[in-house]
Amino acid sequence: MTTTAVPQFDQTKFDAALGRFLGDAGAAFSSALVLVGDKLGLYKALNEGGAQTARQLAERTGTHERYVREWLSNQAASGYITYDPETRTFALPAEHVPFLADDTSEVTMFGLFSMAAVLFADEPKITEVFKTGQGLGWHEHDQRLFACTERLFRPGYRAHLVADWIPALDGVAAKLRAGARVADIGCGFGTSTILMANAYPAASFVGYDYHVPSIEAARSAASAAGLSDRVTFEVASARDLSGDGFDLVCCFDCIHDMGDPVGVLSRLRRLLKQDGTLMMVEPFASDTLEENLNPIGRIFYAASTMLCTPASRAQEVGLALGAQAGEIKMRAVATEAGFSKFRRASETPFNLVYELRP
């Protein structure tokens, strides 16, 4: 008779697990307070005014002292701010300013924390599709998702798109300066499109997205930026696009969301000129699960479970590459779609940038 050994209880591992779970629960509970601090300008006021008491911060921000005192206490317990018991003042460390008080910083955290609120709101829907294997379309999520997505990706695009990613593509920057035609697929609110248009005034741009409210927001943004004469936005899915003759086609953090990424890339290849380029920006990922078991992978796998995989499953084919597909899988998809050249052109801790040629 074969017996199965019962694992021995390890108190040290138990204590470590307890600390980890309490830390995660504390972070989940405190996420809402980060949003409060963002919306009320509490972090910025701490940064601008230096160490302050709860009363001083409340007066500076036009808020109620009793709530502010409780908020500050939570933030100090979280390690986000510091507390001096002698002066009873709270301060935002200089090292934390890029995360909590600078909207232009590449590492601002508010997009991530805002997204967490959306994921909690969508949990009942995702729980149901776990049972059926069906999908949940991008448009079927909590309506806050679209603005959260724009805020999440905007800092990285602003920091790298014009400065690093486009120059890393062979000959593309020169074409844009000379007056290229550019298509931005899955453009959302049009942030990436408008960034490129501001940088390359001789080029013309078309942004495509199937989500009507996002296209309406993108059109408003282009108008406000004074770019409507050479930047347009159209409601269309990636597989339904018409036309050709583009020098550059861009896909920012969207190909892994496609139900049929091979079919989509095949269609996009036909939109390009013979010497055109497709720039595909994807979440940073290594090629094996064990390599992705890290803090960034943790976030991306969560987003993939709640957003990316359901989006793909809601479409034809439903390949569901997921947000941690990695370079090997993306290369295979591009090759099957008919692209003859594929290379990693650039990367950041959060993104991989691929250059595809027909």
| 3 within some domain | no
Same domain for 201 and 319, yes or no, is yes
Same domain for 92 and 154, yes or no, is no
Q: Is 336 helix (H, G, I), strand (E, B) or coil?
A: helix
Under 8 Å between Cβ of 244 and 217: no
Using 70 as the pLDDT threshold, list the residues of the chain that sit under it: 1-3
**Alpha-carbon distance values, 226 to 86, 194, 237 (Å):** 53, 10, 26
CATH of the domain at 51: 1.10.10.10
Same domain for 157 and 88, yes or no, is no
Query: Residue 3 has what pLDDT?
Result: 66
| 164 within some domain | yes
| 105 within some domain | no
Number of domains within the chain = 2
pLDDT in tens, 253-307: 999 999 999 999 999 999 999 999 999 999 999 999 999 999 999 999 999 999 9
DSSP H stretches of helix in the chain? 11-39, 42-49, 54-61, 65-78, 97-100, 110-132, 145-160, 172-178, 191-199, 212-224, 261-271, 295-303, 309-313, 326-336
Give which of 139, 147, 157 is closest to 281, Cα–Cα: 157
Query: Residue 2 has what pLDDT?
Result: 64
CA 235, CA 49: separation in Å to the nearest integer?
45
CB atoms within 10 A of CB 130: 10
Same domain for 48 and 180, yes or no, is no
Same domain for 62 and 178, yes or no, is no
CA 153, CA 141: separation in Å to the nearest integer?
18
Same domain for 340 and 240, yes or no, is yes
Position of tokens 């100090």? 76
Of 81, 100, 119, the one marking the end of a domain is: 100
Give which of 330, 280, 324 is closest to 304, Cα–Cα: 324
Q: Report which residue type is found at 35.
A: L
Same domain for 35 and 140, yes or no, is no
| 234 within some domain | yes
Under 8 Å between Cβ of 333 and 321: yes
Give the sign of the dihedral formed by CA 343, CA 250, CA 176, CA 335: positive
Query: Residue 111 has what pLDDT?
Result: 95
Same domain for 120 and 245, yes or no, is yes
- What does pTM read for this prediction? 0.92
Per DSSP, the residues of 186-204 read T-TTSHHHHHHHHH-TT-E
| 255 within some domain | yes
Question: What are 200's two structure tokens?
Answer: 């390359």
**Alpha-carbon distance values, 338 to 106, 198, 243, 332, 356 (Å):** 35, 32, 18, 10, 10
| 4 within some domain | no
Give the 3-state secondary structure percentages of the chain, helix then strand then coil, rounded to 5.
Answer: 55, 15, 30
Same domain for 94 and 127, yes or no, is no
CATH of the domain at 220: 3.40.50.150
CA 349, CA 353: separation in Å to the nearest integer?
11
Question: What are 144's two structure tokens?
Answer: 């806050």
| 1 within some domain | no
Position of tokens 């692209």? 339
Of 100, 119, 141, the one marking the end of a domain is: 100
- Spatial CB neighbours of 82, under 8 Å, sequence gap ≥ 6: 76, 90, 91, 92, 93
Q: Which domain does 343 fall in, by range?
A: 110-357
| 309 within some domain | yes
Same domain for 228 and 170, yes or no, is yes
- Spatial CB neighbours of 58, under 8 Å, sequence gap ≥ 6: 64, 65, 67, 68
Query: Residue 1 has what pLDDT?
Result: 56
Question: What are 225's two structure tokens?
Answer: 């930026």
Same domain for 181 and 278, yes or no, is yes
Same domain for 74 and 126, yes or no, is no
Of 79, 100, 121, the one marking the end of a domain is: 100
Q: CA 61 from chain center: how many Å?
A: 30
